[in-house]
Structure 1
Amino acid sequence: MSKRGLSREEKKTKKQKGIVQQSVKEILDELVSDSLVIFDKIGTSNSRLVQRWVTDPALLTKEKQAQLDKAASESEALKAKIKEAKVALKAAEKGREDTAERRKLLASLAEVQATSASLKVELAAFGAADPIMYERKKKAIDVAKAASQRWTDNVSLLVSYLRSMSGESESELRTQLGVPENWDDLDISK
């Protein structure tokens, strides 16, 4: 004779070792879905899972009522926020009614903004003639001249030092250093 499976009622009432864990899980899932048992998870990992099973109908009713009350209070809070938003929207719309005068003012504003943009472009074109920019460029040129003179002096000193130490000619040292013959002929007096 083949073994027949346990009925649902037999699985619920059987309380001895040897019950297959999967069948227990299935029965508990059914009980939870039928709202005959409440299932709470505490923790995040399966290894530290704590479960609370409640089968008392009074506790079930109390918990369901608490959930209902919480949902109702959240609903009321959202309705209040919606009402506040509608009031704020109406207040913001005051003075913004679509009238002929408002359309005329908006067109005037657009025209002024376009004029402002074109004047900014024109002003940017005159930036090269700006006295402040001219002074900044002049100072930058003076700094560049001073730096070029300092480097010219430093290279001359280096070539002289190497010439005295090695006895090679100045042209040979310049070739080895990659310095051209006319490197110090820059006219920086302008």
Structure 2
Amino acid sequence: MSKKRGLSIEEKRTRMMEIFFESKDVFQLKDIEKIAPKEKGITSMSVKDVLQSLVDDGMVDTDRIGTSNYFWAFPSKALHARERKLEELKKQLAEYTQKKESLQENIEKSKIGRQNTAERAALTKELTALRQKKDQLKLEIETYKECDPDVIEEIRQANKVAKEAANRWTDNIFSVKSWAKRKFGFEDSKINKTFGIPEDFDYVD
């Protein structure tokens, strides 16, 4: 035998509202905690939470008198609350319907000029060809970039800087060789061989 399914939160809320509507009375929490499990099958542990959710939603009124809290709800108020909710939902539906119509209108407008006509197909083909031509021209520009006067000037300046740097190091090496010959009496050939300096080592022209 299958286990009996417990009440959902909405079923509990509905049954608790029945307590107020059927009696048209005012209750304390302790009264509800006694009535709800016995008459409506709402577990005692959930009574307080269910009641509070109804208070939060404005379906049940509450007031503190002395040291006690009292709760009540009348069908007329519930009816007005439902009517207000219905009006709110109708308003939202009207707004969403208007938004939907506006979006549909924009979609239809955006389709204008985009039909798959022979002219559109030809223009699309031409656009694709032009894009391919553009990519080809970009490759050709890169190929001939070295002929650009600005690029050539940059290369010339870079060569000049490199040449000056190379000759400075050549100066330094010749200075070290001269010092070594004076200090230790080494010959050029021995210094060149020891330090791997080519025999034709000289300044860059």
Q: Sort the TM-score into its range (normalised by shorter chain).
A: 0.5 to 0.7
Query: Among residues 38, 48, 73, which one is paired with 1:28 in the alignment?
Result: 48
Deviations 1:148-180 (A, max 9, x none): 4445556777x59xx7xxx96598xxxxxxxx4
* Offset of residue 182 of structure 1: 2.8
1:119 to 137, 159, 169: 137
Query: Which residue matches 1:128?
Result: 146
- Percent identical pairs in the alignment equals 23
Aligned to 2:156: 138
**Residues 6-25 of structure 1: pairs in structure 2 closer than 5 A:** 12-13=30-31
**In the TM superposition, what are the counterparts of 1:46-65 in structure 2 within 5 Å?**
56=73
Give the paired residue count. 149
Structure label with greater radius of gyration: 2
Residue of structure 1 equivalent to 2:190: none
> Would the aligned equivalents of 2:114 and 2:120 in 1 still touch at CA under 8 Å?
yes
Greater CA drift, 126-135 or 147-156: 147-156
Q: Indicate the residue corresponding to 1:50 in structure 2.
A: none
* Structure 2 portions without partners, runs of 5+: 1-15, 20-27, 34-42, 59-69, 187-194
Aligned residue in 2 for 1:38: 56
Q: Deviations over 1:44-92 (max 9, x none)?
A: xxxxxxxxx9755577777766666555544444333332222222222
Letter in 1 for 2:48: L
- Tell me, yes or no, if structure 1 residue 182 matches structure 2 residue 197: yes
Tell me the distance in 2 between the aligned counterparts of 1:115 and 1:71: 58
**Does 2:108 correspond to 1:93?**
no
Maintained 8 Å contact 1:32/1:38: yes
User: Is the 1:37–1:55 contact (alpha carbons within 8 Å) kept by the matching residues of 2?
Assistant: no
Q: Deviation at 1:100?
A: 1.0
In the alignment, which residue of structure 2 is the partner of 1:46? none
TM-superposed CA distance for 1:24, in Å, is 7.3
1:69–1:133 Cα change, 3 Å: farther
CA RMSD of aligned residues (A): 4.7
Normalised to the residue count of structure 1, the TM-score between the two structures is 0.52
Change (3 A) 1:60 1:14: closer
Which amino acid is the alignment partner of residue 141 of structure 1? N
- The residue that corresponds to 1:80 in the other structure is 98
User: What corresponds to 2:127 in structure 1?
Assistant: 109
Over 3 Å counting, the alpha-carbon distance change for 1:118 and 1:76 in structure 2 is: same
User: CA shift at 1:138, angstroms?
Assistant: 1.2
Q: Give me the TM-score of the superposition, normalised by structure 2.
A: 0.49
